[in-house]
Structure 1
Amino acid sequence: MNIKTVVIGSPLAGTSVLFSILDVLASVGRDWEMLHGMPIKVSAFEVSL
């Protein structure tokens, strides 16, 4: 099940903040498993900017 997520940018939001949010959502279910030697899952979030 994918959760469609859109991160909306604004002039007051910095680029690094927006890309950090995208990276965190995209890595859910991927990085923790990789660090502990478990099979990598597909992220539950379908992220776009």
Structure 2
Amino acid sequence: MAKNTGKGYRKGAVTSRSEFQHQGTWFKRDTTTGRIMNGSQKQHKGVRNER
């Protein structure tokens, strides 16, 4: 389980999540259902990238 450190990063990986970039926006996806959760201009902390 990922834990916040309070220093701008996360210790550990966020499981069952991935992210991808589309037209400059990073979208987070739930890997079990495949649904898009939210979008952000910056990358999400501790979430793996899709190819």
Query: Normalising TM by the smaller chain, what interval?
Result: under 0.3
User: Which TM-score applies when normalising by structure 2?
Assistant: 0.26
User: Which TM-score applies when normalising by structure 1?
Assistant: 0.26
Looking at both structures, which has the greater relative contact order when contacts are Cα pairs under 8 Å and sequence separation is at least 6? 1
Bigger proportion of residues as helix:
1
